[in-house]
Chains A and B, each alone.
Chain A
Amino acid sequence: MTTTDPDELRQRVLRSPSMIGADLASVVSTPEAYVVPPPAGTPVRYRVAAVDLGIKTATPLAMARLGCEVHVLPATSTAGQILGADPDGVFFSNGPGDPAACGYAVTAMRDVLAARVPVFGICLGSQVLGRALGLDTYKLRFGHRGVNQPVQDQRTAKVHITSHNHGFAVAMPAAGAGHAFETDFGPAQVTHVNLNDGVVEGLALADRPAFAVQYHPEAAPGPHDARGLFGEFCALMAQRQGRGA
């Protein structure tokens, strides 16, 4: 029988686990690998290994529509398993929990970056890229959850209205947004910031085909300003295939 005494309930709330330090990606991830093929009539142009840290149905579908055969893999897959099918690119998905508790994904990300395979990350995948590049992550006071968050690309000054769902964020490097900082994988930069509060919303390596955004280009209810990011990922995979963008 559930109590209705607010004081007793509050004691239970205080005893419940914190989001800080929580590894939830491995809880929600698919237990078995599966494949999302392109829709009928669309030829397979790219093979993508997608690490499911809490992936949304809309994400593999968005890639499949562009000719990707998406191999969705469990969260704790190693780089050896991720690269085993010789993918043209590797995707790290959104997901719940604290990125600092996803060491397995950070290790896999570092090994994939070392292999110079094209990488695209969304949300938790972006935080995993940040940690793989040596940046810290932290919990936001309230987080960003909604569909009207203004994000500016530091390279073009262009603003997209974007869908967000994140309680953690990548710490801004000392170089600041739009400026190169050194990583184990060469220079990188914060490519996107949130115009409401200056939070890091995107990262890219300069000399390797890897980038990630904290927001949701796949968001089915919209906005769809950022849909083109899937095309940018495909262009990186086309370059690797030697077919040009």
Chain B
Amino acid sequence: MTAGQPTARPPALLVLEDGTTFRGTGYGADGETFGEAVFNTGMTGYQETLTDPSYCRQIVAMTAPHIGNTGINDEDNESRAIWVSGFVIRDASPIASNWRPAASPRSRSPAPGRSPCTCANAARCGPPSA
């Protein structure tokens, strides 16, 4: 098991084109990113989702509430890079446990020149403003 380091994280904002705004906590890379907001409803496979090139320029909201609990391993990457523009999760597991050697998702930085993976523990904070 790998315990996550409890460090102070910056606030994060997720703004949709209709003005709906969600506030959460930054997780992963810091910065600003743009993309099409989409849902993935899979209960497993977050590592494959992060590295699937089909998610290029998309901000993926995972409907499975608990992400990171099986870590990131060396066998399940679907490509050479993280391609999602952003990753929205409800509950980032501070502990990763896997029968294979695995690291915490937070420890993985995007490849040079790729989009940052910005993850937010997002909570809706108001009705659409438009």
A residues in contact (CB < 8 Å) with B: 2, 4, 6-7, 9-10, 12-14, 16-17, 19, 22, 24, 27-28, 54-58, 94-97, 123-124, 142-143, 145-148, 163, 165-167, 219-222
Contact = CB atoms under 8 A, between A and B. Distances in A.
Contacts of B83: 28, 96
Contact of A54 (B31, B36, B43, B53): B53
Given A13-B17, A19-B36, A124 B41 contact: no
Contacts of A148: 41
Contacts of B36: 19, 167
A221 B42 contact: yes
A56 B45 CA distance: 13
A4 B13 contact: yes
Contacts of A28: 53, 56, 79, 83
Given A95-B54, A97-B56, A146-B40, 5 more contacts: A10-B129, A28-B79, A55-B53, A94-B54, A96-B83
A1 B130 CA distance: 26
B56 A143 contact: no
Interface residues of B, number: 36
B79 A57 contact: yes
A143 B58 CA distance: 12
B91 interface: no
A147 B41 contact: yes
Nearest to A220: B48
B98 to A, nearest CB: 13
Nearest to A20: B36
Q: Is the interface of B mostly helix, strand, loop or mixed?
A: loop
Interface of B: 11, 13, 15-17, 19, 21, 31-32, 34-36, 38-45, 48, 52-58, 60, 76-79, 83, 129-130
Contacts of A222: 44
Contact of B17 (A10, A124, A163): A10
Contacts of A16: 34-35
A142 B39 contact: yes
B56 A6 contact: no
Contacts of A19: 36, 57-58
Contacts of A13: 15-17, 34
Contact of A147 (B13, B44, B77, B129): B44
B78 A146 contact: no
Contacts of B60: 145
A54 B43 CA distance: 23
24 contacts: A2-B32, A6-B15, A6-B21, A10-B15, A10-B17, A10-B19, A16-B34, A17-B57, A24-B56, A28-B79, A54-B53, A54-B54, A55-B53, A56-B79, A57-B78, A145-B40, A147-B41, A147-B45, A165-B55, A167-B36, A167-B58, A220-B76, A220-B78, A222-B44
